[in-house]
């Protein structure tokens, strides 16, 4: 589609447009409007929540990992658009809140669009993305056991966040960083397992 968003700033404009048209913005409407670019943000956000101090809440990393698996599995299967259950699609935020989020995200979005875009585009589509999505599922599966160790889930979640960013900005160089972080996360996870054995 020619009117599909081609940058993070485009995604923010879509969010602002939805907020201007209605009192509350539904998650389902956002996913529909963003289209194929919705996978990136919805992989990035749960991973960032886990990395933040909020991620130390017991059980939360496992819930976030389950959400990531749901999203990454659809990407691995080649779906064009993200699907979420109806009860999630109907969740909404007040338009004022959406506008505040857009406003706060404009500077980081402009920075990301300026520095991350267009490099090695072949790595951000087709079989490369599907393989990377499978890797995200495997990384997310390591989260429940790692949750028992302080900050241990940060490594796999950082890799997943990088993959989400690579999808958002369509940058193959960022995808390479994801691969390196995924390898490092597996090495760290193996090290933790051997140490605790």
Domain count, the chain: 1
| pTM listed for this prediction | 0.78
Assess if residue 28 is contained within a domain.
yes
Angle at the Cα of 112 from the Cα atoms of 109 and 118, rounded to 5 degrees: 125
The residue assigned the tokens 């989260």 is 143
Assess if residue 1 is contained within a domain.
no
Assess if residue 2 is contained within a domain.
no
How many CB atoms sit inside 10 A of residue 78's CB? Answer: 11
Residues 6+ apart with CB under 8 A from 150: 56
One digit per residue, the tens of pLDDT, for the chain of length 197 reads 345 565 677 777 877 887 788 888 778 887 777 766 678 888 888 888 888 887 778 888 999 999 899 999 999 998 888 888 887 778 777 788 778 877 877 787 777 777 777 788 778 888 889 999 999 999 999 898 888 777 788 889 999 989 988 888 888 888 998 999 988 888 777 766 666 65
The residue assigned the tokens 């890797």 is 135
The DSSP 8-state label assigned to residue 8 in this structure reads: H
Spatial distance between the Cα atoms of 164 and 46, rounded to a whole number of angstroms? 10
Spatial distance between the Cα atoms of 53 and 1, rounded to a whole number of angstroms? 39
SS3 readout for 115-142:
HCCCCCHHHHCCHHHHHHHHHHHHHHHC
What is the extent of the structural domain holding 157?
8-196
């Amino acid at each position: 589609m020619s009117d599909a968003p081609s940058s993070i700033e485009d995604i923010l404009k879509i969010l602002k447009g939805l907020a201007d048209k209605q009192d509350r913005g539904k998650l389902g409407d956002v996913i529909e409007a963003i289209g194929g670019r919705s996978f990136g943000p919805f992989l990035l956000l749960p991973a960032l929540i886990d990395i933040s101090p909020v991620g130390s809440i017991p059980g939360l990393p496992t819930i976030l990992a389950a959400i990531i698996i749901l999203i990454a599995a659809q990407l691995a299967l080649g779906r064009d658009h993200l699907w979420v259950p109806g009860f999630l699609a109907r969740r909404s935020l007040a338009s004022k809140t959406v506008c505040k989020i857009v406003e706060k995200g404009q500077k980081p979005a402009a920075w990301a669009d300026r520095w991350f875009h267009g490099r090695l585009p072949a790595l951000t589509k087709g079989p490369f993305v599907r393989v990377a999505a499978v890797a995200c599922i495997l990384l997310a599966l390591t989260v429940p056991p790692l949750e028992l160790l302080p900050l241990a889930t940060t490594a796999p979640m950082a890799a997943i966040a990088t993959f989400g960013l690579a999808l958002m900005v369509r940058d193959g160089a960022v995808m390479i960083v994801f691969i390196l972080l995924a390898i490092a996360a597996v090495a760290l996870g193996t090290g933790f397992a051997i140490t605790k054995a």
